[in-house]
Amino acid sequence: MYDYLNGLIDNLALDHRRGAAEIVRDIIELFASIAELGQEDDDGADHLLKRGVKRLARGQPTMAPVLNLLNRTATAFEASNGDWEAFGQSISHLAARRSRLTEKMLERLGELPPAQGKLIAYSNSSTVTQMIEECSKLGWPQMVYCGEGRPVNEGLFLARKLTGAGIPITLFTDAALMSRVTEADAVWVGGDSISSQGLVNKVGSLALAMLCRAVGIPFISLVSSDKFLSPGMRPYLRCLPQNPREIAEDEADTLNVVNEYYEEVPLDLVSGIFCDLGFCPPERLVGEIEAEPVSPLFASLAGASS
């Protein structure tokens, strides 16, 4: 069990193909398993929990729901005073809280402006996928355009999921997708983080937002409210460069290769945000982000950006 959970921590820290909701679900299961282990092996569970918080905070530093979950997990661990059963109950409460967010989004689906014809969905977001599947039951959209999502091709994963759900899709290279904006009724993206400084999402989102502004179509982010990042948690969010060999394997040492997965989109380029609070202007939602205490344990393990 110990070795399995240790390996799972590394796999989750390196997962850049799935959306934040899927990763958060698995992190919750990870900490629930650590809580079970703690009732038999206190020292081993203690080490795994602290290593998990540190490794995941530094491996997924753009994902607000991961950072928020890790902070709340660390807070629950500190409050449990070594009672692993009590800690496990706290993790169960975090899981229940997370599941209710998606339920609330589905209840408010009617607030989303319909994209009756073609819809562009960029990158791989399980929230976007689920909302498209639900909208298709209402008869829209007629077609979804997806980009491949280089360099790790997470957009291809989105296209496969939508196709498996019986939704017509057309897959483009990322560059070609930009040229199709004029054909779309809207562009939908997920989001890794929303704060007063902007929306963090897959690189290419900024270009899509600027094109949407130029041609007058909505650029909408579909996220749950656990992706809102309070000012106190903002220092732990980082958009880091990735391995240049993913782009130029044989020439990464001789070429100046920039491999970026994520970027920040100014909120004034976002037409609206659809979340468990409904469909809202970004400025309103940012104003409702509540301050959240930062756990000393989380702060010591996560390492704030300078």
Which parts of the chain are beta strand (E)? 118-122, 143-147, 169-172, 186-189, 193-195, 198-202, 219-222, 262-265, 272-275, 278-280
* Amino acid (1-letter code) at residue 234: R
pLDDT digits (tens, 9 = 90+) for 7-17: 999 999 999 88
Task: Indicate the SS3 state at residue 217.
Answer: coil
Please check the confidence at residue 229 and state whether its pLDDT lies above 70: yes
DSSP 72: H
Domain ranges (residues) in the chain: 2-106, 110-287
Please check the confidence at residue 182 and state whether its pLDDT lies above 90: yes
Bigger pLDDT: 99 or 32?
32
Give CATH for domain 2-106.
Answer: 1.20.120
Please check the confidence at residue 271 and state whether its pLDDT lies above 60: yes
Say what the pTM is: 0.90
Closest CA to 62 of 182, 194, 150, 167: 194
Alpha helices in 165-257 (DSSP H): 174-178, 205-215
Record the tokens describing residue 83, joined without a space.
């009672």
Counting every residue written for the chain, the total comes to 306
Residue 169, phi then psi, degrees to nearest 5? -130, 155
Closest CA to 229 of 296, 290, 299: 290
Please check the confidence at residue 283 and state whether its pLDDT lies above 90: no
Give CATH for domain 110-287.
Answer: 3.40.50.10470
